[in-house]
A and B are shown apart, each in its own frame.
Chain A
């Protein structure tokens, strides 16, 4: 079972920041939080990951709370092409460090 809970869907206006929340209250101290997205039926696309510090790359920022029980993915200036299903994943240690995908958040970016 997924170790994360996310809202089923969210809307965001084009050009505005999209803030996608995720709860992972049972995360262990050495487990990483990963974010992926999937557009239509393409392969999941890696966005960002972190352990306990906030992270930023060219796609997004990841804010992890101090107790590590929740995180937020921030897309700073959402575009129509960011419409996708976003998955927050806690990467577990067993089975080769598999990714356990939950239902994800369907983000719709609207003009």
Chain B
């Protein structure tokens, strides 16, 4: 049971570099999410996708872009990395679709630890 798979697990970037964080789920879920977690804090939503072909901003979208490539994959891109984006990034998925019933749990990957120098 792979669940939600994130790659890479660790990455170090220099300020101004770009990179894409990959996320894939094998549970046939409709919704996918990207969160970030900073030291001593809970997770904050960056972007989400309620269904294939749709994406929307969360609480902290500045500096990021996303692509819902297909139902399985949801990628997060940093176009010009900044030290403030040093964080642990978590991808999650849920069976909830556009109806947003809210009664299906989100399942998380193990995260990508990103450091920007």
Contacts and interface: CB of A to CB of B under 8 A. Distances in A.
A2 B100 CA distance: 19
A98 B110 CA distance: 18
B53 interface: no
B105 A95 contact: no
Nearest to A46: B105
Contacts of A100: 42
Contact of B110 (A42, A51, A99): A42
A36 to B, nearest CB: 8
A46 B104 CA distance: 11
Interface string B13-56: 00000000000000000010101000001111100111000001
Judged by DSSP, the binding face of A is loop
B114 interface: no
B42 A95 contact: no
A62 to B, nearest CB: 12
B94 interface: yes
A46 B58 contact: no
Interface in B57-74: 57-59
Given A30-B102, A91-B102, A103-B42, A96 B108 contact: no
Given A41-B88, A43-B111, A44-B90, 12 more contacts: A31-B102, A32-B102, A43-B108, A43-B109, A44-B43, A44-B108, A46-B108, A96-B49, A96-B56, A96-B96, A97-B100, A98-B58
Interface of A: 2, 30-32, 34, 41-46, 49, 51, 87, 91, 93, 95-104
